[in-house]
Each structure stands twice: as C-alpha cells, then as structure tokens.
C-alpha cells in the first residue's frame, strides 16, 4: 500500500509551521507576487458561472488572489493563520482601492470555521489543504467548508500531488507529509481527492503545474449538492473485517466474493482507518462499482460486483493479475 502510517510526531510540523510562515512573509513580503494565480483566474469564471457573489478564501497569504477576486467585483473574506501575510494583504487592499470588498481574519483551519451555516457562495483554497494537516484534519475542514457553503455552492481547491518532485524528499512526518526547506506539505494521492469529494458533486479534477520547481498540483472543483437520496441496497454478502488491516481484509473479502454473480451487493465491515480510502481505490482498480459508506454506520462500506471486474494476484490483492 502506498499510504504510510501516521507517526506520533505527525502533528509536530503543523505546530512549527505558523512560525515558519510568519518568518517567510517577514523576510519576503509579497512572496508570490502581485499577479493572480492562473488558478484564481479560472476560479473566478467558475464562481461567476455558479452565480457566486462572495468568496471565502482559506490560506490567502498576502492576498495575490483575494485582491484579484475583489478587483473582479466579488466580496471576499480572506483568512490565513499568518498575521504577517494578512497585514500585507490589508495594506495592498487599501492601495488597490478594494478594501471595502475585502474582510480579513486570522484563522487556523484546524479550528472550525467562524461562519454561520450556508452563509457563503464559494470557497477558494490554493495550496492550503496540502499544508501540514493530517488526513483527518483535512477531511474535517472540507466538512466545515460544506457546512458554510450555501446549497449548490462551489469549492475550488488545489493540492500538491504525489507526482510532485518533492514528494518523498526531506523529513517524513507520516500521512504523506514531507518537510523540505522548512515547508511541510501533505502530498495528495488521487484517491484522497475522491475521498474529500464524497457526498459532493465532483465537477473537475485537473493536474497542472505552477512555478519553476514546478509544483505539481491537482485543481479540484466540487459543488455542494445534496447527497443522492437513493439508499444503498441491502447486502447479499457481508464481510466482517473487524480488526483486520487492509491487505488481510482484502484477502478475506476476495475469498468471500469468489464465484458470486455480477450485481451482488457486498457490505464490508472495516475498522482499519485506511478503509475509507482503500476500499473505493481497490474497487476502482478492479472495476467493481463502489457505492459508498452506509449512512449511520460509519464503518460499513458497500459495493456492487461488476461483470467485467479484473482479478488480482493470489497473495497481492493490490496488484492486478495479467490478462490471460
């Protein structure tokens, strides 16, 4: 499995990162330049098409994108945990004469968003979800974003992915977080993007590059749409994987579904914390139709057997068997 286990010190970089960003913005005012990112230019079009008038930006830094949204006529709430970055944003908003459309708040995204339910049209987060945040913290944050978005509201975010040159470089903190040059980054595998869009409409996932390194990122657009009212069908087969880790669970699962006809609905009871990511990824690889977690039963996941599913190697369920 690609995923590394969370080490005890995985929370450590998040604690030290605030000071690192404060120092970085102090030493390099306007670090990312005055021009908006290409991502913000794209997002403005997406937000306009969705009828959005106000934008909440998370991890706005010194505000190259928040200021662009304001110049484009949006009302912007810009947040970051670095007061130094936000002070640069405040001064630039005044000099660009857009201060009345920009409100600024120091906020650490590891805390709940200080906003009412269904109170914003759009949320923008460029390279924020991939900061030194555990998978659990990112998942909680995306839940918070969903809470504050109006129904039909849009989230555009980016995250550096596991194809980035810095993935695996520097100090490993577990949970795919690596610290390089003082910056801790959580590199996203594609399945994390899908996991974070569970219950949303995933409108777009696009791989792109930014800067000289270059940074390699996912650009993700997802809409807060009602979850499908269709209930997940009752189980034809239930696999009890309580206490099993991923590979052992998959070996048991494979044995129990052997010979079952296409269309069979399988429920898997899984306590491995990686199961919410690994089960959909395995279904996707093999070709089965992943149906999602059962509502109200957070450790039960469902999928439907597909006719064209691929076989996996006898002792390695993460590897497809050669096509005969």
Ligand X SMILES: C[S@@+](CC[C@H](N)C(=O)[O-])C[C@H]1O[C@@H](n2cnc3c(N)ncnc32)[C@H](O)[C@@H]1O
Binding residues for ligand X restricted to 130-169, rule: CB under 6 A: 131
Residues 6+ apart with CB under 8 A from 225: 151, 152, 200, 201
Closer to ligand X by CB, 70 or 266: give it. Answer: 70
Sign for the CA dihedral angle at 188, 192, 194, 199 comes to negative
Helix (H) or strand (E) holding 193: helix 190-196
If the CB atoms of residues 95 and 228 are measured against ligand X, the closer one turns out to be 95
Give the HSE-up count for residue 266: Cα atoms under 13 Å, Cβ half-sphere: 28
CB of 25 to ligand X, least distance (A): 7
- Based on CB atoms, which residue is closest to ligand X, 163 or 199? 163
Q: Which range binds ligand X by CB under 6 A, 53-61, 218-226, 261-269, 293-301?
A: 53-61
32 binds ligand X (CB under 6 A): yes
Residue 180 tokens read as 């390089």
- The count of other CB atoms within 10 Å of the CB of residue 116 is 9
State how beta strands 149-160 and 215-223 pair: antiparallel
- Tell me how far, at minimum, the Cβ of 21 lies from ligand X, in Å: 4
Among residues 9, 34, 108, 136, which is the contact residue for ligand X, using CB under 6 A?
108
Exactly one of 17, 88, 224, 312 binds ligand X (CB under 6 A); that residue is 17
List b or e across 29-39, with b for residues whose CB sees 16 or more CB atoms inside 10 angstroms.
Answer: eeebeeebbeb
Which of the residues 262 through 291 are near ligand X (CB under 6 A)? none
Least distance to ligand X, CB of residue 133, Å: 6
17 vs 222 by CB, closer to ligand X: 17
Q: How far is the CB of 196 from ligand X (least distance, A)?
A: 16
Q: Which CB sits closer to ligand X, 31 or 294?
A: 31
Q: What is the largest CA-CA distance in the chain?
A: 70
- How far apart are CB 211 and ligand X at their closest, in Å? 10
**In this structure, what token pair is assigned to residue 291?**
């149906």
Nearest to 131 by CA among 246, 21, 291, 266: 21
Shortest Å distance, C-beta 320 to ligand X: 36
Contact 89, 62 (CB under 8 A): yes
Among 122, 128, 217, 269, binds ligand X (CB under 6 A): 128
Q: Which is nearer to ligand X, 61 or 189 (CB)?
A: 61
DSSP 8-state symbol, 229? -
- Rounded to 10 degrees, the C-alpha dihedral 199/204/206/211 comes to -90
Binding of residue 126 to ligand X (CB under 6 A): yes
Give the integer Cα–Cα distance in Å for 252 and 244. Answer: 9
Measured in whole angstroms, how far is the alpha carbon of residue 20 from the centre of its chain? 23
Note whether 221 binds ligand X by CB under 6 A: no
Least CB distance from residue 54 to ligand X, whole Å? Answer: 18
- Listed ranges 91-99, 104-112, 114-122, 292-300: which one lies at the site for ligand X (CB under 6 A): 104-112
Question: Rule CB under 6 A: which of 55-94 touch ligand X?
Answer: 59-61, 64-65, 80-82, 85
Q: Is residue 101 near ligand X by the rule CB under 6 A?
A: no
- Which residue carries 């052992």 as its tokens? 248
C-alpha to C-alpha distance for 306 and 315, rounded to whole angstroms: 22
CB of 239 to ligand X, least distance (A): 38
Residues of this chain that bind ligand X (CB under 6 A) = 17, 21, 32, 37, 59-61, 64-65, 80-82, 85, 108-110, 126-128, 131
């Amino acid at each position: 499995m690609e995923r590394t286990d969370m080490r005890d010190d995985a929370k450590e970089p998040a604690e030290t990162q605030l000071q690192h960003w404060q120092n970085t913005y102090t030493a390099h005012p306007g670090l990312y330049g005055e021009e908006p990112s290409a991502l913000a230019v794209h997002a403005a079009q997406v937000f306009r098409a969705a009828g959005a008038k106000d934008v909440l930006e998370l991890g706005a830094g010194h505000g190259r994108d928040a200021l662009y949204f304001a110049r484009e006529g949006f009302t912007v709430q810009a947040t970051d945990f670095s007061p130094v970055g936000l002070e640069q944003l405040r001064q630039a908003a005044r000099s660009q004469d857009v201060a009345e459309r920009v409100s600024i708040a120091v906020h650490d995204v590891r805390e709940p968003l200080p906003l009412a339910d269904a109170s914003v049209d759009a949320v923008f987060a460029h390279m924020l979800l991939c900061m030194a945040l555990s998978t659990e913290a990112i998942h909680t944050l995306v839940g918070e974003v969903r809470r504050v978005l109006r129904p039909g509201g849009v989230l555009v975010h980016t995250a550096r992915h596991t194809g980035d040159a810095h993935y695996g470089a520097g100090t490993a903190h577990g949970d795919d977080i690596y610290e390089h040059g003082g910056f801790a980054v959580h590199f996203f595998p594609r399945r994390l993007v899908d996991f974070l869009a569970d219950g949303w409409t995933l409108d777009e996932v696009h791989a792109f590059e930014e800067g000289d390194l270059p940074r390699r990122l996912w650009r993700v657009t997802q809409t807060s749409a009602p979850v499908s009212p269709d209930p997940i069908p009752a189980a034809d087969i239930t696999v009890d994987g309580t206490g099993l880790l991923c590979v052992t669970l998959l070996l048991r699962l494979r044995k129990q579904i052997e010979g079952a006809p296409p269309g069979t609905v399988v429920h898997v009871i899984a306590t491995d914390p990686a199961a919410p990511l690994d089960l959909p990824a395995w279904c996707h690889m093999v070709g089965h139709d992943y149906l999602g977690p059962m509502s109200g039963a957070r450790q039960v996941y469902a999928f439907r057997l597909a006719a064209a599913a691929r076989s996996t190697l006898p002792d390695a369920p993460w590897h497809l068997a050669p096509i005969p």
